Amino acid sequence: MTRVGILTGGGDCPGLNAVIRGVVRKASQNNIIVVGIKDGWKGLVQNIASDIAPDSVDDILQKGGTILGTSRTNPYKNPEDVAKVIENYKKMKLDALVAIGGEDTLGVANKLSKENKGLNIVAVPKTIDNDISATDFTFGFNTAVEVATEAIDRLHTTAESHHRVMVVEIMGRHAGWITLYAGIAGGANLILIPEIKMDIDEICTSLKRRKACGKAYSIVAVSEGATFKEGQFATQEKELDSFGHVRLGGIGEMLAGEIEKRTKIETRYAVLGHIQRGGSPSSFDRVLSTRFGVKAMELVLEKRFGFMVSLRGTNVAAVPIQEGVGTLKTVDMKLYDTAKTFFD
Ligand code: F6P
C-alpha cells in the first residue's frame, strides 16, 4: 500500500477538509502518499490529480468547503467515462481510493466496488441533508442546523415587531432533517417537511388560530422539498442534474404568497440556501469528520474495501457501502411528534 487517492463529490459541506486532514495524517504515519483528485469523479474521468503534501493539511480543519473541489459528475452517464475512471485509477498508480460524498457519489462508489473492476474503495458519507442510511449522522448536518437555527432566532424578532408570519425555506432535498432540528431548536410554530404532505387549509387555520388567541406573529419552517397534498398545487417541472435530481427551491415564496392571500396576515419569506452549506464546521462536525477520516484510512490499511465509515451511537463503525445507498434516510417520526406538541 503506497498510494491512496481521495476525492470529494456532490454538494460541498462543512467538515470535508477535516476528513481530508484525517486521511492524510493517518496515511503519512504509515508512509502512504495521498493523491488528491480534483472535483470528484470528474478528476478521475479527466485524470486531474496531485499528491497532497502532509504539511499542507495542517491548517484546514476549520475551513469550510473542500480543498479538492467538487462536482456533480456521474461517470455512469457515459460508459466511456467509467472506462476512463478505471484507466486513470491505474495511471495514478492507486492502491485504494477514499470517496467522500452523499448518496450520488457513494452510489457510484458502490457500483464500482461491486462491478469488481480492480478499484479498492472505502467511502465516507457526507451531506448537510443527513439523509444517508446506515449512519446516525453525517458531518455537515450539525453545522447546517446551527446556521438555520440562528436564522430562525433572528426571524423571531423581526416577525414579532411587525406582527407578521415569516416563512423560512430550509435545504435538505427530500428529507426534512435540517428543517425539523432547526425548527425545534429555533422554536418555529409550524414545521413542514417532505415526509408529510402539506395541507394549505390546515396551515392557514393554525396561523389564524394563533392570531385569534393573541399570538401576534408566527414562524413557519419549510423544507425546500416539501410538497402540497394532491390536488392543491402542481409541482413545477424543472431541469434535472446528471444524477437525475431536480433543483429545488421556491416553496418558501409560494407558501408565503398563499398564506398571505388566504389569511390576510402580512407574510414574508426568507430562503437560507447555500448559506447553510458554507463556512466553518461546528465543533461537533470537526470531531465527527476527524474520526471519519482517520477511520477511513484504517479501513484502507485493513483492506476492508467496499465499506463505508458510519456513526453508530457513539462509535465509528464500518458498514457495506450498499447499506448507505440503498434507501434514503427520512426523518424520525417520533421526533416530529415531539415537534408537533408546540404547534397551535
Ligand atoms: O445535498 C445538499 C444540498 O445542499 C441540498 O440540500 C440542496 O437541495 C442541494 O444540495 C443544492 O445543490 P446545488 O449546490 O447544486 O444547488
Query: What do you get for the CA distance between the two ends of the chain, in Å?
Result: 60
Q: What is the model's pLDDT at position 73?
A: 96
Q: Is 172 in the pocket of ligand 1 (CB under 6 A)?
A: yes
Strand partners, 250: none
Return the C-alpha cell found at 267: 407574510
* Alpha-carbon span 316 to 300, nearest angstrom: 15
Q: Is 290 in the pocket of ligand 1 (CB under 6 A)?
A: no
How distant is the alpha carbon of residue 198 from its chain centre? 23
Q: What is the model's pLDDT at position 248?
A: 86
Candidates 25, 34, 23, 24; CA nearest to 1 is 34
Strand partners, 170: 223
Q: What is the chain's pLDDT, residue by residue, as a tens digit (344 residues)?
A: 899 999 999 999 999 999 999 999 999 999 999 999 999 999 999 999 999 999 999 999 999 999 999 999 999 999 899 999 999 999 999 999 999 999 999 999 999 999 988 999 999 999 999 999 999 999 999 999 999 999 999 999 999 999 999 999 999 999 999 999 999 999 999 999 999 999 999 999 999 999 999 999 999 999 999 999 987 776 555 678 888 888 888 999 999 999 999 999 999 999 999 999 999 999 999 999 999 999 999 999 999 999 999 999 999 999 999 999 989 999 999 999 999 999 98
Which ranges of 74-222 does DSSP label H, i.e. alpha helix?
Answer: 79-91, 103-114, 141-162, 177-185, 200-212
Tell me how far the alpha carbon of residue 160 lies from the centroid of ligand 1, in angstroms.
Answer: 31
* Alpha-carbon span 74 to 52, nearest angstrom: 24
* Alpha-carbon span 223 to 220, nearest angstrom: 10
Which uninterrupted H or E stretch holds 172? Answer: none
Task: Kindly state the DSSP code that residue 282 receives in the 8-state scheme.
Answer: P
Tell me how far the alpha carbon of residue 13 lies from the centroid of ligand 1, in angstroms.
Answer: 10
Q: What is the model's pLDDT at position 80?
A: 96
Please name the residue that has the C-alpha cell 460541498.
12
Candidates 98, 19, 102; CA nearest to 288 is 19
Give the chain's radius of gyration (CA, Å).
22
Q: What is the model's pLDDT at position 328?
A: 95
Tell me how far the alpha carbon of residue 11 lies from the centroid of ligand 1, in angstroms.
Answer: 6
**Count of residues making up the chain:** 344
Q: Is 248 in the pocket of ligand 1 (CB under 6 A)?
A: yes
Q: What is the model's pLDDT at position 242?
A: 83
Nearest-atom index, ligand 1, CA of 225: 8
- Catalytic residue check, 201: no
List 12, 104, 129, 131, catalytic entry: 129
Nearest-atom index, ligand 1, CA of 128: 2
Spatial contact of 175 and 328, defined as CB atoms under 8 Å apart: yes
Q: By three-state DSSP, how is residue 53 classified? A: coil
Please give the model's pTM, rounded to 2 decimal places. 0.96
Q: Where are the beta strands (DSSP E) in the chain?
A: 3-8, 33-37, 49-52, 96-101, 121-125, 165-170, 190-192, 218-223, 267-271, 307-312, 315-320
Spatial contact of 44 and 89, defined as CB atoms under 8 Å apart: yes
Amino acid letter, 107: G
Return the C-alpha cell found at 75: 461517470
* Alpha-carbon span 99 to 116, nearest angstrom: 16
* Alpha-carbon span 181 to 138, nearest angstrom: 14
Q: Where are the beta strands (DSSP E) in 228-339?
A: 267-271, 307-312, 315-320
Nearest-atom index, ligand 1, CA of 131: 1
Tell me how far the alpha carbon of residue 73 lies from the centroid of ligand 1, in angstroms.
Answer: 14
Q: Is 277 in the pocket of ligand 1 (CB under 6 A)?
A: yes
CA angle at residue 95 from 94 to 98, to 5 degrees? 80
Candidates 28, 47, 27, 277; CA nearest to 144 is 277
Q: What is the model's pLDDT at position 36?
A: 98
Q: Is 129 in the pocket of ligand 1 (CB under 6 A)?
A: yes
